[in-house]
Structure 1
Amino acid sequence: MPPIDALTFDLDDTLWDNRPVMEHAEHGHYRWLDEALAAWHGAQAASLGRYAERFPLSAYQTRRQQLAERVPLRRGDFTWIREHALRELLEEYGLPRSAAAMWAAAGLAQFLDLRHRLTPYPEVAALLEALGGRYRLGAITNGNVDVTRLPIAAHFRVTIAAGEMLAPKPDARPFLAALARLGSRPSRALHVGDSWREDVLPAQRLGMRVAWIDARNEGATSLPPGVHRLRHVSELPDLLAGLD
């Protein structure tokens, strides 16, 4: 195999623990929206009722799933799905279309603010700093994190929001787009990610080497050629030293 000159990284659950981030953002923005609507309605609130009582968070989550099924092309564009599902519920709640659009946008902005209140693993900043001196680094995510809002953005030459380009992983296109922009090719690149379906399989099929973050040790004992199991992203330098 030729030497590696580029590394691509998944973000959520690879460079940080995403579960508490999403739980905080999901509940926090919906609670904010319910309280903001109650204050905005004033006396009219009695006739409409509390928004979150008529449409609890579970209803919003179900509507997102239904919308993804109705518009499969957008199924991976989580920002679009969230805003449009929220707009539909707000119209059903009784808001005029223009007000529903305004409050859906406000609710989404609140969600994204909370979504970006995340802390990468303690080793990540120094790790990316060191690796960036030797390899060209890119990020490929199905999530709706805007890397430019994070301090680690300076380490990535390329960031690919696969859902927004309507080609969420395991589609090969975000990997190929990242490699093209990095000036590399699959045989000279290694992808780092936690999902077997969305990270390991598509990268391996393209001919990339893969560092699979199997944090819970749930994978099979034997792995395909070119796929290497790690328990944590901090183990990546040792793997690269062995491959080089």
Structure 2
Amino acid sequence: MTTLHLSDFDAITFDVYGTLIDWEPSIAAFLLDWAAGHGISADAGTLVMAFDGARARIQKERPAHLYPEVLNRCFDEICAHFGVLPDAERRRQFSLSPHTWPAFPDSHDGLVRLQQSVRIGALSNIDVASLESSCRILDVRFDVVVTAQRVGAYKPDWPHFDTGIGDLARLGVPRERILHVGQSLRADITPANKLGLRSVWINRPDRLLGLSGEGAAEARPDLTVSSLAELVDMLTR
């Protein structure tokens, strides 16, 4: 197993949703409630993967949509897949759901511990307003923030990484001193590999989003852990 030490890095960048914010159960609960209201018998895994596939396709469209519109379009695709007409109020609720997604229990403490020694950054497939809500939930202020809204693209495209690397360079952090951490093999680990960034995969138990699709099978993290708390303990050991 690869050994990484906190002293090897001056900055750690993070994917946010799935890595620090536990979005998947909230998405599953929303879609299960919607499905039950329409007599659809699909289980949580089926609904989550329907969302994942729609999300990956919609995020490739250019010009890029703001994330609330991505969620609107995902909802429309899921409705069409199951032969249901979209309900405007449900659609609106889904687009606003990022503002209420909870943090993983270890996120705040882990980020605070790391920020005592290194810069921390957020590279997130989200809009600015939604991320601001999540930062309040995390009770953390990142040193560098790169959103899909800012760069006009979604990971696994490279603008997030190129912009984050540039922001950190202006803070005196060279790219070889950056560690990228994410739960998504597709959107985080594979592009980090291609850009020569060292990376950690947080393989959160019982989570599905971001683990399949284009490029996921190619992902080769330098280290795999099951939680941020485990990573922080390993880095600071």
Structure 2 length as normaliser, TM-score? 0.64
1:181-240 residue CA offsets vs partner (Å, 9 max, x unmatched): 233332111111012221112112222211111235999xxx85x711111111112332
Q: Is 1:235 paired with 2:230? A: yes
User: Could you tell me the percent identity over the aligned residues?
Assistant: 25
- Matched with 2:118 is 135
* Distance across 1 between alignment mates of 2:75 and 2:236: 48
Q: Which amino acid aligns with 1:167?
A: A
* Distance across 1 between alignment mates of 2:75 and 2:156: 27
- Matched with 2:22 is 17
Q: Is 1:207 paired with 2:196? A: yes
Distance 1:23 1:86, change over 3 A: closer
Are 1:162 and 1:174, in contact at CA under 8 Å, matched by a contact in 2? yes
TM-superposed CA distance for 1:142, in Å, is 1.9
Q: CA RMSD in A?
A: 4.1
1:87-120 residue CA offsets vs partner (Å, 9 max, x unmatched): 9x9xxxxxxxxxxxxx96x766533443322221
**Runs (5+) with no aligned partner, structure 2:** 40-46, 80-86, 213-218
- Matched with 1:118 is 101
Q: Which amino acid aligns with 2:226?
A: R
- Matched with 1:4 is 9
Q: Is 1:176 paired with 2:162? A: yes
- Matched with 1:147 is 131
Would you tell me which structure has more helix in proportion to its own residues? Answer: 1
* Distance across 2 between alignment mates of 1:157 and 1:109: 32
Are 2:75 and 2:94, in contact at CA under 8 Å, matched by a contact in 1? no
Distance 1:114 1:79, change over 3 A: closer
**3-state SS in 2 of match to 1:146:** helix
**3-state SS in 1 of match to 2:153:** coil
- Matched with 2:42 is none
**3-state SS in 1 of match to 2:9:** coil
Q: Which amino acid aligns with 1:135?
A: V
**Runs (5+) with no aligned partner, structure 1:** 35-51, 90-102
Are 2:193 and 2:199, in contact at CA under 8 Å, matched by a contact in 1? yes
**3-state SS in 1 of match to 2:100:** coil
* Distance across 2 between alignment mates of 1:216 and 1:83: 28
* Distance across 2 between alignment mates of 1:187 and 1:160: 19
TM-superposed CA distance for 1:17, in Å, is 2.8
Structure 1 length as normaliser, TM-score? 0.62
* Distance across 2 between alignment mates of 1:85 and 1:170: 18
Q: How many residues align?
A: 196
1:23-62 equivalences in 2 (<5 Å) = 23-26=28-31
